[in-house]
Amino acid sequence: MQTLRRFFLIVIAVQLGTDLCQAQMIYSGTPLQRVGSGFYEQNGVNWSLRGPQFFAGFGNGNLGVPFGGAAPGAGLRGGVGFAGNGLGGSLGFHFAQGSNRSISSTTPSITTLDGAPGSISSQTIRPFVTGINPVVGGYSYGNPTRENASAELFQSRQQSQAAYLQSRLNANLQAKQSKAAEAFQRGVRADTEGDLRKARANYRRALSLDQGPLRGQILSKLQQHGWN
């Protein structure tokens, strides 16, 4: 009797524990349904005629259609043939018709703990490019071989970088030339005012910054005063 009581207690405990575990789980589903319908129809005739020195024909009796889910070779096909007096031929016909219906249902589901996050996703992952292998291809009919896109991109980047460096160099030269012109003007003013020390310093500074346009004038001023 006591063994039977223990058995019932164990069954009740297991049942309560099972209910408790089920209550702690969350089941989520996202149903997706697709319904499709298709119809196709085709009919036609074909004939052929053969003689000693000629032949002619029309149609090939192909029952395939590119839509509606048509089954190749389906449908009714028939015809008659004749031959005699050096002539032979045939006359045929074909008829095909069909339809199809489809329905599908898919339910992605996920089971998580109560309060725990979960997700269902449908995605396409494309890895990023880690390298480029140039492949040079030729074209028929005498067309010249074209450079691939990676080589053209590399050349374009080189040209843009060279143009940028050249623009920076030109800007630097223009800035130096502008400073040389300012120093030369200060030297001329100081020379006019009689401040030879200041004039000599500005002439020499202008000579070190000048890129060519003022070099003759600066050397002329220095030679007038006997400054080397």
**For the chain, the helix, strand and coil percentages under 3-state DSSP, each to the nearest 5:** 40, 25, 35
Residue for token digits 């003759």? 216
Q: Which two tokens stand for residue 44?
A: 């036609």
- Predicted local confidence at residue 133, as pLDDT: 67
pTM of the model: 0.33
- Predicted local confidence at residue 147, as pLDDT: 46
The DSSP element (H or E) to which 77 belongs, if any, is strand 76-84
Q: How far apart are CA 164 and CA 217, in angstroms?
A: 33
Q: How far apart are CA 48 and CA 92, in angstroms?
A: 9
- Predicted local confidence at residue 28, as pLDDT: 78
- Give the pLDDT confidence of 28-45 residue by residue, as tens digits: 787 888 888 888 787 788
Q: Which two tokens stand for residue 217?
A: 């004038």
Q: How confident is the model at residue 66 (pLDDT cuts 50, 70, 90)?
A: low
- Predicted local confidence at residue 60, as pLDDT: 66
Q: How far apart are CA 194 and CA 191, in angstroms?
A: 5
Residue 47 has pLDDT above 50, yes or no: yes
- Predicted local confidence at residue 141, as pLDDT: 43
Q: How far apart are CA 170 and CA 205, in angstroms?
A: 20
pLDDT above 70: percentage of residues in the chain = 71
Pairing type for strands 25-29 and 109-113 reads antiparallel
Q: How confident is the model at residue 12 (pLDDT cuts 50, 70, 90)?
A: low
Across 180-196, average pLDDT = 88
- 227 or 63, greater pLDDT: 227
Type of residue numbered 94 = H
Specify the DSSP class assigned to residue 147. P
- Give the pLDDT confidence of 102-149 residue by residue, as tens digits: 898 888 888 887 777 777 777 777 666 666 666 655 444 444 444 455
Q: Which residues have C-beta within 8 Å of that of residue 179, sequence separation ≥ 6?
A: 209
Q: Which residues have C-beta within 8 Å of that of residue 101, sequence separation ≥ 6?
A: 36, 37, 38
Q: How far apart are CA 148 and CA 143, in angstroms?
A: 15
Across 79-84, average pLDDT = 82
Across 194-222, average pLDDT = 86
Residue 203 has pLDDT above 50, yes or no: yes
Q: How far apart are CA 63 and CA 128, in angstroms?
A: 46
pLDDT averaged over the chain?
76
Q: Which two tokens stand for residue 120?
A: 């269902």
User: Among 40, 46, 42, which Cα is nearest to 78's?
Assistant: 46
220 HSE (CA, 13 A, CB side): 6
Q: What are residue 112's DSSP bridge partners?
A: 26
Residue 197 has pLDDT above 80, yes or no: yes
- 221 or 27, greater pLDDT: 221
